[in-house]
Amino acid sequence: MTAHLSLVRPSHELRSVRARRQTPTQPSNRNLRPREYLTPSEVETLIRTARQGRYGHRDATLILVAYRHGLRAVELCDLEWSQVEFDRTATLHVRRAKNGKPAAHPIRGDELRALRELQRQTSGGFVFETERGTPFTTDAVNRLVKRIGDRAGFPFKVHVHMLRHACGYALANAGHDTRAIQDWLGHRAIQHTARYTELSQERFKDFWRT
């Protein structure tokens, strides 16, 4: 005797559950860290700590140059001696990544002396070399700055891009014009620069003054 078969309506419950599942996303840096920049005094602490390491002069100069000129990791790694003028002009010719605007930055006395000493310690065309005499990778320079931040005892993780943000905030707090900061950092769009002036203490310096 043949059993009568009937069609059973498929259940979509499992499919619906799967559809409702969300792929876990990695938290943003903003949520993981209290802030994305360093203060000038924290940069000084980082430089002092760097000087105490095995390659102290190189590491301290790396932090100083990244901070003064607001360099991204890739711009720091690609920096060549041909971009540094040691004559009376004392100029750093900055090549920007991310389609940023290039610029010619003045090099201050302490930075110029540090770069002169560093050039005597290097053998290749790149300003910052590893112990093998090769240029840094972005991952390597990030690890270096992170280790120095750990040694300095910062209560948060430090990364190299915080030096670029530190530059922007320091210039804004010094009262420099937003357009000038934009050109210094190489931003094509001014809204990327506005974040620094929006949080600048300089805007409120005359509040509550009689």
Active site amino acids: 72, 98, 161, 164, 187, 196
| Three-class SS state of 144 | helix
Q: Which residues of 152-177 are buried (b: 16+ CB within 10 A; e: fewer)?
A: bebeeebbbbbbbbbbbbbbbbeebe
The kind and range of the H/E element at 20 are helix 13-20
Q: Bin 112: left if φ > 0, else alpha if -120 < ψ < 50, else beta.
A: alpha
Q: Kind and range of the H or E element at 145?
A: helix 138-152
Helix (H, G, I), strand (E, B) or coil at 24: coil
Distance of CA 158 to the CA centre of its chain: 10
Q: Which helix (H) or strand (E) holds 56?
A: helix 56-69
> Which alpha helices (H) appear in 153-190, and where do they start and end?
161-173, 178-185
